């Protein structure tokens, strides 16, 4: 009678008319399979987590190194920029005395030629040579 009752209840839920022993062995097999799958998933997850943790450590160290390099390069850039600014200021200071913007090149060449000739004449006078 008990079997008939179980068969009726199983049929109501859309199940088969299996005996309790076969259900128990099916359940144990399912549980064993599920446990094996869970263990594999857990192992894979641990390996994956360890790999990702190592990646995080390496990337964090690399980021710190690159951050230090960036700081050093910025300091170098600031120093170089200060040197450049000082050189440009000095150049701007010297520029008016070196370049006479109102005189053409030909005029400057002619003036230098006259200056050289007058210096040579002065040298002859100092040496006591005849000026004629």
Dist. CA 71–CA 69, nearest whole Å: 5
Give the per-residue pLDDT at 13: 52
In sequence order, the 6+-apart residues with CB closer than 8 A to the CB of 26 are 18
The pLDDT tens digits of the residues spanning 73-111 come to: 999 999 999 999 999 999 998 887 776 667 788 988 999
The pLDDT tens digits of the residues spanning 24-35 come to: 888 888 999 999
CA atoms within 13 A on the CB side of 109: 3
Q: Do 87 and 119 reside in the same domain of the chain? A: no
Q: Do 110 and 80 reside in the same domain of the chain? A: no
User: How many domains does the chain divide into?
Assistant: 2
Give the per-residue pLDDT at 1: 46
Terminal C-alpha separation, the chain: 156
Q: Do 47 and 92 reside in the same domain of the chain? A: yes
Give the per-residue pLDDT at 2: 47
Q: Do 80 and 93 reside in the same domain of the chain? A: yes
Give the per-residue pLDDT at 57: 96
């Amino acid at each position: 009678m008990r079997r008939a009752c179980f068969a009726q209840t199983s049929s109501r839920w859309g199940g088969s008319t299996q005996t309790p022993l076969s259900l128990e062995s099916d359940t144990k097999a399912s549980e064993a399979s599920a446990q094996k799958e869970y263990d594999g998933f857990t192992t894979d997850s641990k390996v994956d987590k360890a790999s990702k943790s190592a990646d995080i450590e390496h990337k964090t160290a690399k980021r710190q190194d690159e951050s230090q390099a960036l700081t050093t390069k910025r300091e170098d850039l600031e120093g170089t920029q200060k040197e450049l600014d000082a050189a440009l200021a000095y150049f701007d200071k010297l520029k008016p005395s070196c370049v006479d913007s109102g005189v053409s090149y030909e005029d400057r060449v002619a003036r230098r030629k006259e200056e050289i000739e007058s210096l040579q004449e002065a040298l002859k006078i100092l040496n006591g040579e005849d000026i004629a």
